[in-house]
A and B are shown apart, each in its own frame.
Chain A
Amino acid sequence: MQQTLPAPRAMLGAGSTPAGRGRWALVRRLRQNRGAVVGFALLAVVIALALAAPLVTTHDPIKINPPARNLGPSPEHWMGTDQFGRDVFTRVVYGARISLPVGLIAVAIAAVVGTVLGLLAGYYGRLVDGAVMRVIDIMLAFPGILMALVVVAILGASLQNVMIAVGISEIPRYTRLVRGSVLSARENLYVDAARITGLRDAAILFRHILPNVVGPMVVLATLSVGSAILAAAGLSFLGLGAQPPRPEWGAMLADGRQFLGSHWWIATMPGFAIALTVLAINMAGDGLRDVLDPRLQSR
Chain B
Amino acid sequence: MLAYILRRLAQAVVLVFVVATLVAAFIHLIPGDPVYVILGETNVTPERVAAVRAELGLDRPIPLQYAEWLAGLTRGDFGDSLTSGRPIGGDLLLRLPRTLELILVSTLLSVVIGVPLGVLAASYRNRAPDLAVSTFALIGVSAPVFVVGTLLLLLFGVLWGVLPATGYVAFGDDPARHLKHLILPSVTLATLETAIVLRMTRSSMLEVLAEDYVRTARAKGLDGRLVLYGHALRNALIPVLTIIGIQIGSALGGTVLVELIFNWPGLSSYLVTGINQRDYPVVQAVVLVIAALFILLNLLTDLVYAVVDPRIRYG
Mark A residues whose CB is within 8 Å of B. Answer: 35, 137-138, 140-146, 149-150, 153-154, 156, 226, 230, 233-234, 237-240, 250, 253-254, 257, 260-261, 264, 267-268, 271-272, 274-275, 278-279, 282-283, 286, 298-299
Do residues A144 and B250 form an inter-chain contact, with CB atoms below 8 A? yes
Residues of B within 8 A of A260 (CB): 150, 153-154, 158
Q: Which of A156, A264, A275 contacts B147 (CB 8 A)?
A: A275
A283 to B294, CA, bound (A): 30
Residues of B within 8 A of A226 (CB): 142
- Among B19, B145, B146, B252, chain A packs the most CB atoms within 10 A around the CB of B146
CB closest residue in chain B, given A153: B275
**A173 CB, nearest partner CB in chain B, Å:** 12
Mark B residues whose CB is within 8 Å of A. Answer: 15-16, 18-19, 22-23, 26-27, 29-31, 125, 138-139, 141-147, 150-151, 153-154, 158-159, 199, 202-203, 206-207, 249-250, 252-254, 256-257, 260-261, 271-272, 275-276, 283, 287, 290-291, 294-295, 298
Q: Which of A143, A268, A299 contacts B249 (CB 8 A)?
A: A143
Do residues B287 and A150 form an inter-chain contact, with CB atoms below 8 A? yes
Given contacts A138-B22, A142-B291, contact A299 B207 (CB under 8 A): yes
Residues of A within 8 A of B151 (CB): 268, 271
Residues of B within 8 A of A299 (CB): 125, 203, 206-207
**A12 CB, nearest partner CB in chain B, Å:** 35
Residues of B within 8 A of A278 (CB): 142-144
Residues of A within 8 A of B271 (CB): 146, 149
Given contacts A142-B291, A153-B283, contact A253 B22 (CB under 8 A): no
**A219 CB, nearest partner CB in chain B, Å:** 15
Do residues A261 and B158 form an inter-chain contact, with CB atoms below 8 A? yes
**At the interface, is chain A mostly helix, strand, loop or mixed?**
helix
Do residues B260 and A238 form an inter-chain contact, with CB atoms below 8 A? yes
**A28 CB, nearest partner CB in chain B, Å:** 20
A260 to B144, CA, bound (A): 17
A283 to B159, CA, bound (A): 32
Do residues B29 and A137 form an inter-chain contact, with CB atoms below 8 A? no
Given contacts A146-B290, A282-B142, A299-B203, contact A141 B295 (CB under 8 A): yes
Residues of A within 8 A of B125 (CB): 299
A35 to B138, CA, bound (A): 10
**A153 CB, nearest partner CB in chain B, Å:** 4
Do residues B150 and A268 form an inter-chain contact, with CB atoms below 8 A? yes
What are 19 inter-chain pairs, A to B, with CB distance below 8 A?
A142-B290, A142-B294, A143-B294, A146-B252, A149-B256, A150-B26, A153-B283, A154-B27, A237-B257, A238-B256, A239-B276, A253-B146, A254-B146, A264-B158, A268-B154, A271-B151, A274-B144, A278-B142, A298-B199
Given contacts A142-B291, A230-B144, A275-B142, contact A257 B257 (CB under 8 A): no
Given contacts A144-B250, A230-B144, contact A279 B138 (CB under 8 A): yes
Do residues B150 and A141 form an inter-chain contact, with CB atoms below 8 A? no
Listed from nearest, the 9 A-B pairs whose CB atoms lie closest are A143-B253, A271-B147, A279-B142, A145-B253, A278-B142, A275-B143, A299-B206, A153-B275, A141-B291
